[in-house]
C-alpha cells in the first residue's frame, strides 16, 4: 500500500493506524490482539523503549493508591492531589524529585519482584512493600505476549500529516520467566510507574493508572523469546 496517513496524532498513531488497516478493534483487554498474536508497531528510526506489558502491582491491596499517596508529588495546577511518574532499573538507583531513589529488587526466596524505594541521599531502603509475584509475571508473559507480531514502518510527513509505510515484521514466540528476570537483573528491562489522579468528577483524587509496566529496547526484544522469524 506504500505510505498511508496516520489515523491519530502523536506516539500512538502508528499502532492505531496499523490496527485499523488489519481490522483490530481498539480495546484495553489483557489479551492478544489478533488470532492469538499481540501486535506492536514501531517507527524504524525510533530507539525508544517498547512496552512488553502494563500491569498494576500485585501487592499490597490498592498498591497504586499507596504509592501515589506516600511517594507522589502534587500537581502544579492542583496541589491537593498527587501524581507519580518515574522509571527504574534493577542495576542502578534513579532520582525522583531529589527526595527518593527507586530501584527494582528481588526476593528470590519469596519469588517476588519488588519496587524498592530508597532515601535519595544515603540510599537507605525506606519501603519495598509493593511489587509483583513471579507467578503473575509469568502468567502475563504467557497470556499477553506468548506470540508477538512486531511491525516496523518507515515514516514521512506530507502537508504536516505523518504517514507510514509498513514494510517489516518480526514474529517472536515463547517468552520465559527466566529470560525476563535475567534481563531485569542485567538492567535491560525498565519499569515505569505512571500513576495520576482524577482531577474532576466522582473519582476526584483517586489514583488513575496511565500504563505502569515493563519496557525494553527494540534491539533487545529478541532476548526474551526462544524463537524469532523476520518477515520481509
Each residue's pLDDT tens digit, 213-224: 999 998 899 999
Dihedral sign of CA atoms 94, 56, 176, 48 in order: negative
Q: Is-contact 115 130, C-beta < 8 A?
A: yes
| pLDDT at position 222 | 93
- Cα separation of 58 and 62, whole Å? 9
Query: Which uninterrupted H or E stretch holds 156?
Result: strand 147-158
| pLDDT at position 66 | 96
| Domains of the chain, CATH where assigned | 4-231 (3.30.70.3570)
Between these two residues, 30 and 173, which has the higher pLDDT value?
Answer: 173
| pLDDT at position 168 | 87
- Cα separation of 54 and 95, whole Å? 22
Dihedral sign of CA atoms 72, 47, 137, 210 in order: positive
Between these two residues, 189 and 18, which has the higher pLDDT value?
Answer: 189
What are the C-alpha distances in Å from 108 to residues 105, 114, 135, 185, 217? Answer: 9, 10, 12, 12, 25
Residue 194 has pLDDT above 70, yes or no: yes
For 104, how many CA atoms within 13 A lie in the half-sphere containing its CB?
Answer: 27
φ, ψ dihedrals at 63, nearest 5°: -60, -40
Residue 189 has pLDDT above 70, yes or no: yes
Query: pLDDT-based confidence at 197, cuts 50/70/90?
Result: very high
Between these two residues, 166 and 113, which has the higher pLDDT value?
Answer: 113
**Percentage of the chain with pLDDT > 70?**
94
**Percentage of the chain with pLDDT > 90?**
62
What are the C-alpha distances in Å from 200 to residues 74, 155, 208? Answer: 15, 38, 12
- Cα separation of 60 and 42, whole Å? 34
Tens of pLDDT, residue by residue over 143-186, are: 989 999 888 888 888 888 888 888 888 999 999 999 999 999 99
| pLDDT at position 44 | 67
Burial of 129 by CB count in 10 Å (0-12 exposed, 13-18 middle, 19+ buried)?
Answer: middle
What are the C-alpha distances in Å from 84 to residues 81, 94, 106, 194, 211? Answer: 11, 14, 22, 6, 12
Query: pLDDT-based confidence at 188, cuts 50/70/90?
Result: very high
Residue 104 has pLDDT above 70, yes or no: yes
What are the C-alpha distances in Å from 17 to residues 14, 20, 27, 44? Answer: 5, 5, 14, 15
pTM of the shown model: 0.86
For 208, how many CA atoms within 13 A lie in the half-sphere containing its CB?
Answer: 14
Amino acid at each position: 500500500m506504500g505510505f498511508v496517513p496516520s489515523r491519530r496524532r502523536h506516539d500512538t498513531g502508528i499502532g492505531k493506524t496499523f490496527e485499523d488497516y488489519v481490522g483490530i478493534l481498539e480495546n484495553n483487554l489483557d489479551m492478544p490482539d489478533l488470532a492469538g498474536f499481540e501486535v506492536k508497531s514501531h517507527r524504524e528510526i525510533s530507539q525508544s523503549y517498547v512496552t512488553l506489558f502494563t500491569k498494576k502491582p500485585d501487592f499490597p491491596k490498592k498498591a497504586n493508591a499507596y504509592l501515589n499517596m506516600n511517594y507522589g508529588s502534587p500537581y502544579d495546577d492542583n496541589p491537593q492531589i498527587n501524581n507519580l511518574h518515574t522509571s527504574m532499573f534493577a542495576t542502578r538507583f534513579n532520582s525522583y524529585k531529589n527526595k527518593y531513589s527507586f530501584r527494582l529488587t528481588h526476593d528470590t526466596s519469596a519469588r517476588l519482584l519488588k519496587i524498592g524505594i530508597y532515601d535519595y541521599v544515603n540510599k537507605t531502603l525506606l519501603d519495598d512493600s509493593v511489587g509483583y509475584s513471579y507467578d503473575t509475571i509469568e502468567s502475563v508473559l504467557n497470556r499477553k505476549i506468548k506470540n508477538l507480531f512486531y511491525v516496523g514502518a518507515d515514516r514521512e510527513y506530507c502537508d504536516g500529516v505523518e504517514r507510514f509505510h509498513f514494510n517489516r515484521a518480526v514474529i517472536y514466540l515463547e517468552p520465559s520467566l527466566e529470560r525476563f528476570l535475567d534481563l531485569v537483573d542485567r538492567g535491560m528491562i525498565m519499569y515505569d510507574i505512571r500513576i495520576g489522579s482524577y482531577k474532576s468528577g466522582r473519582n476526584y483524587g483517586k489514583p488513575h493508572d496511565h500504563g505502569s509496566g515493563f519496557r525494553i529496547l527494540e534491539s533487545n526484544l529478541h532476548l526474551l523469546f526462544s524463537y524469532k522469524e523476520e518477515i520481509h
